[in-house]
Structure 1
Amino acid sequence: MASLLEIGSAIQAARKENGLTQDQLAALAGISERTLRSIEAGCGNPSFSAVLSTAEILGLKIAVER
């Protein structure tokens, strides 16, 4: 299972690949820039819906495996 830090790093890399600033991605995902910064840093306590909406904007999928 990926850690929050790994998910945040993947989101940050995809954001940069797509040429988006944190402010732009946060606006597209409907979250604050501060929340996006905490997601990318793998810290804080962002809501699961915030992480999912951000990943979805970037075309990333988060999978739960057993």
Structure 2
Amino acid sequence: MLAQELGEQIKRRRDMLHITQPDLAELADINVNTLYRIETGKANPTLKVLHKLAEVLGMELKLEVKKPNF
């Protein structure tokens, strides 16, 4: 998944739950500027940050490793 798609999904879920960026940042214990950059696809968040956001937003993270096509 591209950073832009990831950010869009987080923003959609946040909007659906009627949570502001500052509130989500506080609940997830991350900087509001970091959240803004994630939502706009300008940041590459760590798994730790993604886990915090997913917990607050009631989302699930899945890590998938695909075999190379050769």
Normalised TM-score (structure 1)? 0.85
- Map Cα deviations across residues 40-65 of structure 1 (whole Å, 9 max, x no partner): 11113433211221122101112122
Q: How does 1:1-66 map to 2 (within 5 A)?
A: 2-65=1-64, 66=66
Q: Distance in 2 between matches of 1:44 and 1:12?
A: 14
Unmatched 5+ residue regions in structure 2? none
**Number of residue-to-residue matches in the alignment:** 65
Report 1 or 2 for greater relative contact order, CA contacts < 8 Å, sequence distance ≥ 6.
1
Cα RMSD (Å) of the superposition? 1.3
Normalised TM-score (structure 2)? 0.81
Q: Is the CA contact (8 Å cut-off) linking 1:11 and 1:40 kept in structure 2? A: yes
- Percent identity of the aligned residues? 35
Deviates more, 1:26-35 or 1:53-62: 53-62
Q: Is the CA contact (8 Å cut-off) linking 2:3 and 2:44 kept in structure 1? A: no
Amino acid at match of 2:46: S
